[in-house]
Structure 1
Amino acid sequence: MTTGLMAGVFGLYQHTVMVGLGRTDDRTFIGAFQSMDRAIINPWFMLSFGGALIFTAVAAFLSPGRRILPWVLAALVLYIIVFAITVAVNVPMNDALKAAGDPATMTDPAAVRAAFDEARWSAFNLIRTIATTLAFGCLCWALVARGELG
């Protein structure tokens, strides 16, 4: 379930949040993105983000058989990629934008927005979206295979 939730979060950012923010002026983009990034660090998000990794690893460890294990391991590898991209790329980009300060007092918000590089952030988010969705699909298929073992 947590993997499915994360696929939804990344997907929503990909096809709605970043598209909507992309249509705003520089100060609005920076302020809104900073505000959302501060808000997303909460127990519900952290449970889903970290839980997807932990619960999938536990499922791999507890998988009862050859029909299920490959699917769970595939999901785990895909989500490890997502986790690594998040920690190595998206979070540092988010942090740099937050460190730029209050958009209301910026002398050149266009330069701050350009330095953030929305296209790069979105490209890596697209990878996260696809990989998490595939991981969720693998886990769903593992459930189907588990039902067939019955």
Structure 2
Amino acid sequence: MFVLRVSALIAATMTTGLTAGVFGLYQHTVMQGLGRTDDRTFVGAFQAMDRAIINPWFMASFLGALLLTIAAAVLNPGRGILPWVLAALVLYALAVAVTMVVNVPLNDALKAAGDPGTIADLAAVRERFDESRWLAWNLLRTITTTAAFGCLCWALVARGAGSA
């Protein structure tokens, strides 16, 4: 049981860290670069990246982090690390909710606009997408997943220190 408890905690930490990295990279690099492009480039590039990110590697880390953090909580009841794992779970669940309620609908609406080569008013499509709204909510995802990663890192430290 020890190996399963520790493995779930390590896997939850790793996948949460990977997801925090993705959201952070979008926040400080991808969207900043796209923000400096013309409307056609922005719409086309964002659509292409949004289609590409739905792949087994990303989905395994994005959904895996949630499931593995739940597993780490279930496998470590009554242990000193449980509050840290539960805090990570709440923070990560918030990021998942924001993703599903805000970011995915914005992404889907931009993809639904069609091929940038056939869109008559690219500026209007980009304006409806609302980059500042997307970025504000992505910042929340970045902060919550990074904080969740920190909580899980601390749970690992506490576990290793024998207090768990």
TM-score for the superposition, normalised by structure 1:
0.98
Structure 1 residue runs without a partner (length 5+): none
| C-alpha displacement of 1:64 | 5.0
1:91-144 deviation line (CA, Å, top 9, x unaligned): 010000000001111111000000000000000000000000000000000001
1:57-100 deviation line (CA, Å, top 9, x unaligned): 00011115442000000000000000000011100100000000
Match of 2:63 among 50, 56, 75: 50
In the other structure, the counterpart of 2:158 is 145
In the other structure, the counterpart of 1:94 is 107
Is it true that 1:18 corresponds to 2:31 in the alignment?
Answer: yes
Structure 2 residue runs without a partner (length 5+): 1-13
Identity of aligned residues (%): 76
- Cα distance change, pair 54–84 in 1 and its aligned pair in 2 (3 A): same
TM-score for the superposition, normalised by structure 2:
0.90
Letter in structure 1 aligned against 2:28:
H
Write the distance in 2 (CA, Å) between the matches of 1:65 and 1:125. Answer: 34
Match of 1:30 among 43, 46, 49: 43
Is it true that 1:104 corresponds to 2:122 in the alignment?
Answer: no
In the other structure, the counterpart of 2:134 is 121
Write the distance in 1 (CA, Å) between the matches of 2:76 and 2:47. Answer: 40
Structure 1 runs (4+) deviating above 6 angstroms are none
Letter in structure 2 aligned against 1:135:
A
Is it true that 1:130 corresponds to 2:130 in the alignment?
Answer: no
Write the distance in 2 (CA, Å) between the matches of 1:41 and 1:5. Answer: 15
Is it true that 1:41 corresponds to 2:54 in the alignment?
Answer: yes
